[in-house]
Structure 1
Amino acid sequence: MKKCAALALCLAICLSMAGCTNNTGGIGSTSSITKNQDGDDTSRGSAFAANAGTTASKTDYDSLKNNKIGWGQGREMDDKNRPVAAVETQQKLGDEYNAAFIGPEDKVIYLTFDQGYENGYTGKILDTLKEKQVPATFFLTYDYCKEAPDLCRRMVAEGHTLGNHSQKHKSFPTLSVSEANADIDFMHQYVKETFGYDMKVFRFPMGEYSERMLAVVRDYGYKSIFWSYAYKDWVPEAQPDKAESLEKLKKNLHPGAIFLLHSVSSTNTAILGDFIDYALSQGYTFQTM
């Protein structure tokens, strides 16, 4: 009997030690970072990615369409001045893939800015947002983070939302599932480690997506954010007229509007305050994604 008890005790201790060994590399594990010859981080292990991988393994990505879709809100409006294409796509894909093509039918506006590179205007945009006490969402690329870290820190300090706009700004439907996950995770970890910010939203580069890539982003733990209004504001050398652009923004104001603006635009910088004032006068409020 004593020998049996001793054997049982030894077995229990061994199993306990094995269990501790199996727990390494989980949520409490340390991320590994390597750098290339340019000093850029090239590989990152993360608990967030590991958890996402567990979720992703439940999705049969091969069964999902991967044809590239270029998002645009269209020009047809419903009786509430909401783009029909955005409303219909929201109904079709929004819940299944945790995506927002347009917000709910409330008098709320979501200002979003895509930050591909710095052109000298983001500071002024932040000044206007601070003056008007309006929050916004800034979608960051890796190049932007490296070029303008102080502005990124200011965005966080002043209560704005940071979103993942990818590491390399490639068309996601052209990537494999593993490549897409690696790109998303790189940016997530870089922003978290550099700015202490845990991003929750993602915007596809160039607005190019597929159902498969929507699933990849969802399974990572992000919400995909599109837009319900955008105009050609991203060419610095061909900026649209300020008065005409302000009228476009006013004309396309609608409940649940997700406005896509680019901070490289001198026009956007000049008219932002007037647009905010107009929207507030029409009973709208501003929120972040």
Structure 2
Amino acid sequence: MKINTSAALLTAAVMPCTAVYAADNTKVGYGQGTNVDENNRPVDAVQFNSRFGDLDAFALSEDDKRIIITFDQGYENGYTAKILDTLKEKDVQAIFFLTGPYAQTEHDLVQRMIDEGHILGNHGMTHASLPTLSDEDAKKEIMSLHDYVMENYGYEMQYFRCPCGEYSERALETAKNCGYKTLFWSSAYVDWNTNSQPSPAEGLKKLGDAAHGGEILLLHSVSATNAEILGQLIDDFRAKGFEV
């Protein structure tokens, strides 16, 4: 799978959810692991693609020259505008995974994401763990946010990220049957704890050391560190020869 970060090229229509059958609904907490292959890709992420690619669920892109930057948007902490400024300055398009409350309360920032060519992703209307829901409620968790964003922003989302990083085979099948590709990640760090932020030097080193082709990088926009280091991080990725 090649994930193209040009929103204009994402033209496939998302279809209404169809029935989910007897897929396993055992809840699994995703993690990319620490073991890496010869290309510095986390082995667990590679195996995830192999196992669940037929359900349109991916932890890596097949574009081995690119790093895709994604942000989870659970709530606004005052840093998203600065992040958008940096992305615009560096000419980078990112994927922003919105929760329902974010889409409902941060209209100006969401509209700016769209206007500046970023991709909006679906992170669940209530950020509920899909394997804990009935099939009908799991569909509603996805499609109620899908419909809200379509109706209020005129934007059709096509990428889903499982809330809490928790999934099951049935949850992935539900997302696929709703017309979505599910994106996890192959690089992340503890940036979400606003009371215990890594230093800028720590963040740059950790993310730089983990860089790899096909990377899907998970960041959180509530992080003061991320807002501070994003420009340098993009420059560092490009200095290593990656497209961002």
Normalising TM by the smaller chain, what interval? over 0.9
Structure 2 residue aligned with 1:88: 47
Q: Which amino acid aligns with 1:173?
A: P
- The answer on 1:218 being equivalent to 2:182 is no
Report if aligned partners of 1:110, 1:257 keep a CA contact under 8 Å in 2: yes
Structure 2 residue aligned with 1:29: none
1:246 and 1:222 map into 2 onto residues whose CA distance is 32
SS of aligned partner of 1:179? helix
Q: Which amino acid aligns with 1:84?
A: V
Q: Which amino acid aligns with 1:114?
A: D
SS of aligned partner of 2:182? strand
Any idea what the Cα deviations from partners look like across 1:170-205, whole Å, max 9, x if unmatched? 111000110011121110010011111110000010
Specify which of 236, 240, 244 is matched with residue 282 of structure 1. 240
Report if aligned partners of 2:128, 2:141 keep a CA contact under 8 Å in 1: no
Gaps of 5+ in 1: 1-47
Measured after TM superposition, the shift of residue 52 of structure 1 is: 2.7
TM, length-normalised to structure 2:
0.93
- The answer on 1:244 being equivalent to 2:202 is yes
Measured after TM superposition, the shift of residue 150 of structure 1 is: 0.2
TM, length-normalised to structure 1:
0.78
Structure 1 residue aligned with 2:218: 260
Aligned residues: 232
Any idea what the Cα deviations from partners look like across 1:204-246, whole Å, max 9, x if unmatched? 1011000001000000000000000111100111111110110
User: 1:141-160, aligned counterparts within 5 Å?
Assistant: 141-160=99-118
Q: Which amino acid aligns with 2:16?
A: A
Measured after TM superposition, the shift of residue 105 of structure 1 is: 5.1
Structure 1 residue aligned with 2:25: 66
User: 1:3-22, aligned counterparts within 5 Å?
Assistant: none
2:161 and 2:130 map into 1 onto residues whose CA distance is 11
1:265 and 1:121 map into 2 onto residues whose CA distance is 7
Report if aligned partners of 1:118, 1:147 keep a CA contact under 8 Å in 2: no
Gaps of 5+ in 2: 1-12
2:162 and 2:189 map into 1 onto residues whose CA distance is 17
Q: Stretches of 4+ moved more than 4 A in 1?
A: none
- C-alpha RMSD of the superposition: 1.2
Greater radius of gyration (CA): 1
2:64 and 2:189 map into 1 onto residues whose CA distance is 23
Report if aligned partners of 1:117, 1:147 keep a CA contact under 8 Å in 2: no
Q: Which amino acid aligns with 2:238?
A: L
SS of aligned partner of 2:16? helix
Q: More helix by proportion, 1 or 2?
A: 1
Measured after TM superposition, the shift of residue 147 of structure 1 is: 2.1
